[in-house]
Amino acid sequence: MVVVSHGSILVSKVWSLQLSQCDSTLYDGSIPTISLVLPCRNEALNLPHVMNAIPASVTEVLLVDGDSSDGSVAIAQHLRPGVIVLNQQTPGKGAAMVEGMFAATGEIVVLCDTDDSMNPVEVERFVAALLAGADVVHGSRTIEDGGSDDLTRTRSLGNQALTSLTNVLFGASLTDLCYGYVAMWRDVVDLLRLDHIVQVPHHPTSDDEGGLHRPRGYGHGFEIEALLLCRSAKLGLTISEVSSHESARRHGNSNLKVFGDGFRVLDAIFREWRGHEFSKSAVGCRDDLRQRMATRLATDPFPQLD
């Protein structure tokens, strides 16, 4: 199920996971290059499950390592010799995601976790939605065929409240704001003006457990998903949702703090809502992006991914 949300309009349509059966494509008939960004800190036991599930259609894997001390990097390199390892420069999951997005060279960028809660097999579902006309695709655990083995009642209620607030303020039709499985065209990354997230200097303190893991600035933490979606909605980009199933973390403990990170998300929503409107140049870039996408429209069947 793909839910296309644009402004206050909500359109639902079932899309095949096989790209050859998409009703339309915004590409020229060749499979686009796909970059998969994987933020990581001490996920050595989970990485084998993640790396082995990456589809063959993914052309570039970027592991953004936050000073892991358990051999995560060596394991990733062993499992996928071509993996690009980035040493995280700014603390927090959000900062890691943005650093990976900036370094990605694929035409499509997909953000996924390394704790094995998100299934990389679903990447092709996100790609299909992008090729069907979306600018940004967001995974949803709450629509048909989605689900979670990890979402507690407290987190679920908080997520519903934050999602509803976002929809009201931005005229969107999202169903699962606080979920980090996201994909977008590489052009969109530059359009979202994310430089400020990685430009905050980091000065490790004596209480840092390994240095690069504590978010210190806006956009550095779990609020990154809200920031990306709110900013995309404010720009008027087409946001699609596809069903996704979240599994329970196999090994280790999550760094998520329900109330602390919940307030970071709430702060992000209001910051993006009250923030300055995007400049005319940013809106012009959006229009240029759509024009370039439109010129790729092809009538030939899209080749099937393996």
pLDDT in tens, 247-259: 876 765 656 555 4
pLDDT given for residue 215 in this prediction? 53
pLDDT given for residue 159 in this prediction? 86
pLDDT given for residue 262 in this prediction? 65
Lowest-confidence region among 138-142, 249-253, 265-269? 249-253
Lowest-confidence region among 30-44, 95-109, 212-226? 212-226
Higher pLDDT, 13 or 4: 4
Higher pLDDT, 57 or 294: 57
Residue 276: pLDDT above 50?
Answer: yes
Query: Which whole number is the average pLDDT over 169-197?
Result: 92
Looking at every residue in the chain, the average pLDDT score rounds to 79
Instruction: Kindly report the number of other CB atoms within 10 A of residue 50's CB atom.
Output: 27
C-alpha dihedral over 261, 267, 268, 269, to 10 degrees?
A: 120
**132-148 as b/e, with b when 16 or more CB fall inside 10 Å?**
bbbbbbbbbbbbeebeb
* Phi/psi of residue 247, nearest 5 degrees: -90, 160
Place of tokens 């644009």: 6
Query: Measuring CA to CA, how many Å separate 118 from each of 107, 121, 250?
Result: 22, 9, 11
Query: Which whole number is the average pLDDT over 7-36?
Result: 48
Q: Give residues with Cβ within 8 angstroms of 286, minimum separation 6.
A: 191, 235, 236, 237
259 burial (CB, 10 Å; 0-12 / 13-18 / 19+) is exposed
Q: Crossing angle, helix 153-170 and helix 224-235, to 10 degrees?
A: 20
Query: Which whole number is the average pLDDT over 224-253?
Result: 87
55 burial (CB, 10 Å; 0-12 / 13-18 / 19+) is middle
pLDDT given for residue 253 in this prediction? 62
- The partner residues of 35 in beta bridges, in order of sequence, read 60, 109
Reported as a pLDDT band with limits 50, 70 and 90, residue 50 is very high
Which domains are seen in the chain, by residue range?
A: 2-295 (3.90.550.10)
Provide the 3-class DSSP secondary structure of residue 242.
strand
Residue 209: pLDDT above 50?
Answer: no
Reported as a pLDDT band with limits 50, 70 and 90, residue 158 is confident
pLDDT given for residue 8 in this prediction? 32
